[in-house]
Amino acid sequence: MFTNDQRQQERTGQYGTSRQQYLQELVNQFQNTSDEETKEKIAANLANFAYDPYNYSFLRQLNVLELFLDCITEPNEKLMEFGIGGICNSCVDPANAAIITQCGGIPLVIKCLSSPVRNTVSGENLVFP
């Protein structure tokens, strides 16, 4: 389900954490951990946020699209899978697609086609405007 400002305010409440702050915390955790399993969980979580247009501006501000691109260059197949998932979820937005393209994402995505992980390859139904 897509979010809007009103729904987000209802879910967050007066003292809750804003979506941008929560995403920033996830990015910080990802960058500051060396534990692969923790990175996988965070990348999966970020990829789930990437499907909702409400989050697109936050993802751009926090350089999450670049983080997804970094994930697909990792030897860790799970990070690659979640990175390509985040790219697929977010690239429907022209501004996101432009960032992915400008950062050299198309050749990186093409390299993922040779992945032995089925979810990584089947997730690559990308359309770059």
The pLDDT tens digits for 27-80 are: 999 999 999 999 999 999 999 999 999 999 999 999 999 999 999 999 999 999
Asked if residue 88 belongs to a domain, the reply is: yes
Asked if residue 102 belongs to a domain, the reply is: yes
Domain with 102, as residue range(s), is: 5-122
Asked if residue 107 belongs to a domain, the reply is: yes
Asked if residue 60 belongs to a domain, the reply is: yes
Asked if residue 14 belongs to a domain, the reply is: yes
Asked if residue 127 belongs to a domain, the reply is: no
Asked if residue 30 belongs to a domain, the reply is: yes
- CA-to-CA distance for 88 and 82, rounded, in angstroms? 10
Share of the chain above pLDDT 90, in %: 69
Phi-psi region of 95 (alpha: psi -120 to 50; beta: other; left: phi over 0): alpha
Highest mean pLDDT among 16-20, 62-66, 88-92: 62-66
Asked if residue 129 belongs to a domain, the reply is: no
CATH number at residue 23: 1.25.10.10
**Total domains, the chain:** 1
